Structure 1
Amino acid sequence: MSGTVAIVTGGSRGIGADIVRRLARIGHHVLLVYGHNESDAAATVRRCATQTTKVISLKCDISKLDAPQRVFRRASEIGTPVALVNNAGITGQISRLEDAHDDTIRHTIDVNLTATIMLCREAMRHWSAPGAGTPRSIVNVSSIAGKTGAPGEYVWYAAAKAGVNALTTGLALEGARLGIRVNAVSPGTTATTIHAKAGKPNRAQEVGSRSPMGRPATTDEVAAAVEWLISSEASYVNGAILDVTGGTR
């Protein structure tokens, strides 16, 4: 197998699955990295592969120290990695900070921020030769919580996403001369399973109804922004944090 490869973490369902589908559709092989649900990953692989592009799944806990090397090694076996989408994210149970467990806080930061930093570092090491071939791109999936702070819900998650925003801004300047663009998509409330896992399954509809557009985002609307940032149409976009919030600030 040869061709360009896009790596998508958290790609088995929700926003990630739509990102996988869109990137396969525009001609990339996709390495779908997932943490737990093998059946969801398998279903996404079947649904998203095309006649000319392959979707390959890799079960990997991205919070582990060896995860970045494993991910890029597998992607290189498929073809030439040219894109990294750091989409995997968790919040932990909704609560005030004083009620949050140590493990919830640590694991949320490990998955949302530390793993994103480490995967970005591996990408920069992998793509270190300036001007080497195909343009390369990193898109980090952040959250409006990085701006609002998510008080009374999960301020630790918000802090991690604020860190992702800072990482995006700084790394874009480091990567520019190497031909590596680094951007982020910052979704508002989106209709995904993350809310049910946080203990409030109706949260997306409740919060979305109060947004200027009167509804939450769909997963595909967020994925469309990621696809655009990776595409050649965004070739002069670097260091951007693109809000997909329906006007919510």
Structure 2
Amino acid sequence: MQPIVLITGGSRGIGAATARRAARAGFHVAVNYRRNDVAARAVVESVHDAGGKAIAVAGDIARESDVVRIFETVDHELGRLAALVNNVGILETQARVDSIDAAWLTRILTTNVTGAFLCAREAIRRMSTRHGGQGGAIVNVSPAAARLGAAGEYVDYAASKGVMDSMTIGLSQEVAAEGIRVNAVRPAFIHTDMHTSDGEPARVDRIKDALPMKRGGTPAEVANAILWLMSDEASYTTGTFMEMAGGK
């Protein structure tokens, strides 16, 4: 039986690269997306073209009812979940803390924090031996901004991902005896279109010379790390962080 992985925010960037890499590794893939149906369908088609199996599942992880429906769809269309990639993350345009308001923060935190917790909850209910599951893996995508701070650009986003770091540590200990491993990758300065959302599409090129490796990373490089953490090769690895920020 093929293992099944759900990737939140799987229609673009790191999520899309992870979906394609997971399919090559033998996973059946559920690609979650919020709005971009065309992009999600393109990822699914690329998996099908390579001989894999994938479905696209629309839903906003900021809404609890959507999260429940997403996981139930995976249950019905693919089967019992073996892995979750908690990849969704949103940011607003670059701003200082003294220019943001409560509504701004609510948008960031509801998706990046509440959504990640809800997805982890649903995954645990399916994978934990305590609930009759067979174990599994959760990989959180928690950018290095959480430890770097992102001063003058998006301290709000960095802080929200700091919560995910804490969740990774605590949750890994909470479910370790139930067959679930919880780890995180911490990418930064990756060439994705997420930077368009923050108002600076060429941000990585602007700062790459300040990085020890003198270049930005690619979604495929991050996807390779995620797949390793999901794999049996990482069977004794939990509560860890894989830094992927070009040495920063």
SS of the aligned residue for 2:92 comes to coil
Corresponding position of 1:110: 110
Shift of 1:49: 2.7
- The aligned counterpart of 1:173 is 173
* Superposed CA offset, 1:95-125 (max 9, x none): 1011124333211111111100111111122
Q: Deviations over 1:116-151 (max 9, x none)?
A: 011111112223334956440000000111001111
**What RMSD over aligned residues (CA atoms) do the two structures have, in Å?**
1.6
Which amino acid is the alignment partner of residue 119 of structure 1? C
The aligned residue for residue 19 of structure 1 is 18
Mapping for residues 1-249 of structure 1, pairs under 5 Å: 3-49=2-48, 53-77=52-76, 78-130=78-130, 134-248=134-248
Residue 51 of structure 1 deviates from its aligned partner by 5.8
Contact 1:27 1:52 survives alignment (8 Å): no
Aligned length: 247
Separation of aligned partners in 1, 2:96 and 2:193: 21
| Native 8 Å contact 2:11 2:39 kept in 1 | yes
CA distance, structure 2, for counterparts of residue 191 and residue 44 of structure 1: 18
Provide closer, same or farther for how the CA distance between residues 165 and 210 of structure 1 changes in structure 2, counting only shifts above 3 A.
same
* 1:34 and 1:59 in contact (8 A); partners too: yes
Task: Show structure 1 runs of 5+ residues with no match.
Answer: none
- What is the CA–CA distance in structure 2 between the aligned matches of 1:72 and 1:150, rounded to whole Å? 33
Please say which of residues 129-138 and 52-61 is displaced more in the overlay.
129-138
Percent identity between matched residues is 39
Question: Contact conserved, 2:128 with 2:179, CA < 8 A, in 1?
Answer: no
Distance 2:74 2:14 in 1: 21
The 8 Å contact of residues 23 and 53 in structure 2, kept in 1 or not, is answered as yes
Following TM superposition, by how much is the alpha carbon of 1:50 offset from its aligned partner in structure 2, in angstroms? 5.5
Asked if the contact 2:31–2:55 (Cα under 8 Å) also holds between the matched residues in 1, the reply is yes
